[in-house]
Amino acid sequence: MPRAAKKAASTEFKNFEPYKPKRGEEYMNEKQREHFKTILLNWKSDLMQEVDRTVSHMKDEAANFPDPADRATQEEAYSLELRTRDRERKLIKKIDSTMERIEQDDYGFCDACGVEIGIKRLEARPTATLCIDCKTLDEIKEKQEMG
């Protein structure tokens, strides 16, 4: 699969109309939750289509090359594709848990400090669970621990 197609599939959620909050509008109201549900469902759908394409591609391309170099090249390509799909599988789980948060009216608020994550941050990363400040602190702690 071409790189451009892979990249487009993994970032497809970005093709949406940004939400423009009205003055005095309550944060994470029904309209905003619907906006993020749509983004997440479209993103999940795109990922699922990519999984289906991978399965059919691997079935169609399956060949037993007599040349060991050709066989190794094909196996490496399959390995890369499967690793990508594994990452996307984990992302699908994260999208599902984010959808649950929306249903429980817990979406859009930081898990660590409880403040609003913000619409723009959520549009950039719809599965975010930490506000930018807590995420920055989390990354600093991680760097210090890892060295």
pLDDT band at 13 (very low <50, low <70, confident <90, very high): low
Q: Which residues contact 88 (CB under 8 A, 6 or more apart)?
A: 10, 47, 50, 51
3-state class (DSSP) for residue 109 = strand
pLDDT of 35 strictly over 60: yes
CA 80 from chain center: how many Å?
18
Domains of the chain: 27-107 (1.20.120.910), 108-147 (no CATH)
pTM of the model as a whole: 0.80
Distance (Å) of CA 97 to CA 37, 48, 101, 102: 12, 16, 6, 9
Question: What tens digit of pLDDT does each residue of 72-130 get?
Answer: 888 898 899 889 999 999 999 999 999 999 999 999 999 999 999 999 999 999 999 99
